[in-house]
Amino acid sequence: MATTLKWATHADLAIERRPSVAREEYLDHMSFRSNTRPLFTEIFGPIVGLKEEWEEQGASADELSFAAFTYRCEQKARVGVTTGRFGGCEPEILEDTAEFTIHRDELGRTMKMPKGFATLALPLDYPVRTMDDWLQIKPWYEFDPGRLSDDWVARAKADVAAGKVLCVDIPGGFDEPRQLMGEEELCVAYYTQPELIIDMLETMGSTAERVLDVVTSEIAVDVLFVHEDMAGKSGPLAGPSQIQEFIAPYYRRVWDLVSSRGARLFDQDSDGDMRPVLDAFIEAGVNCMHPMEPAAGMDIVELREAYGERFAFYGGIDKHVLRRTQEEIAAELERKLPPMMATGGCVLGLDHRIPNGTPLANYRFYLQKAWEILES
């Protein structure tokens, strides 16, 4: 990796994709109503340091921005409303050194951000341990008319008219309590303070429902999105019983509302091995998932055989194969693309950010080979 990073933030790593799939085609494809042509994208782009590597290997400016590469994907637009935290602490820098910065964030957490190789800060503490702690910040999650921006209706209608897929977000049923408590405290609280978790999710669910009731009374949304990231390679941090008891009631109250008014996809973002809880989440309404991490056992060919049209997905192509031989890249694509092309209900792509050590020549080959198969 280059010693001096020119592209070190999420904004620096953003990529240019030219959308070529209209809203209705995307929705029909992902809900298994039609399968006229396969969809293919780059979901996240490069990891920190890769652009510097590619620049040294002779990448053009368009390759570094990804404008040179061809994908077949939709364009999404978020409705201008807030269903999650609304308010918070004033951010404050506590310590700034050559190696890292320590700051207090809007949740009140003390965060450490290493310099030069990371885009996400590491929490050193959390604001919630008890019900009393939660009650102090609960107003941040309660309904307020200010959650709906003044021009959200006009912007949403303009996005739909432009052929964009209209999305709304809700806080994660696992992820948001985890941001407030930390993973260990949250997992223990399922058993020792269930009333705390129930109150958190009841509050978040009530607020999301009220906001989205207003939204869907004006315009139909297409996708309900939730970020969870609740699993590693060894499996999820909460099991089916926790999903059913705590998270499913929250999901269902929101999904039942928006789906009754036209939403077609409930898309969950969660890395890691989600197989032990897939059934529980599908029962809670989830019908789309990404990024489908092969290294954690999320094999899209096997999962499509097991679940059929019960859920769609994004991703599923092993990002690590890009650091191997071109023969291995071809084998990965030849195994996964044809059966997914036959079924639809997926946007094929790498399962996360393109890793460091990926030769530019390999990424070029990956796209060339993928399109050779996709257009065959």
Per-residue pLDDT of the chain (376 residues), as tens digits, is: 445 678 877 888 889 888 899 999 999 999 999 999 999 999 999 998 999 999 999 999 999 999 999 999 999 999 999 999 999 999 999 999 999 999 999 999 999 998 876 678 899 999 999 999 999 999 999 999 999 988 999 999 999 999 999 999 999 999 999 999 999 999 999 999 999 999 999 999 999 999 999 999 999 999 999 999 999 999 999 999 999 999 999 999 999 999 999 999 999 999 999 999 999 999 999 999 999 999 999 999 999 999 999 999 999 999 999 999 999 999 999 999 999 999 999 999 999 999 999 999 999 999 999 999 999 9
Task: Parse the chain into domains and list their residue ranges.
Answer: 23-88+128-374
How much is the pTM? 0.95
pLDDT at residue 17, rounded to an integer: 87
pLDDT at residue 1, rounded to an integer: 40
pLDDT at residue 4, rounded to an integer: 67
Provide the token pair at 307.
């679940």
Give alpha helix (H) positions in the chain: 23-30, 50-56, 61-65, 131-137, 152-161, 175-181, 183-192, 194-218, 240-242, 248-260, 278-283, 300-307, 326-343, 360-374
pLDDT at residue 2, rounded to an integer: 41
Q: Are strands 312-317 and 346-350 parallel, antiparallel or unpaired?
A: parallel
pLDDT at residue 375, rounded to an integer: 96
Provide the token pair at 42.
């780059």
From CA 304, how far away is CA 310, in angstroms rounded?
9
Q: Using alpha carbons, list the distances in angstroms from residue 250 to 2, 242, 246, 280.
A: 45, 12, 7, 13
* Annotation: CATH topology of 23-88+128-374: TIM Barrel (3.20.20)
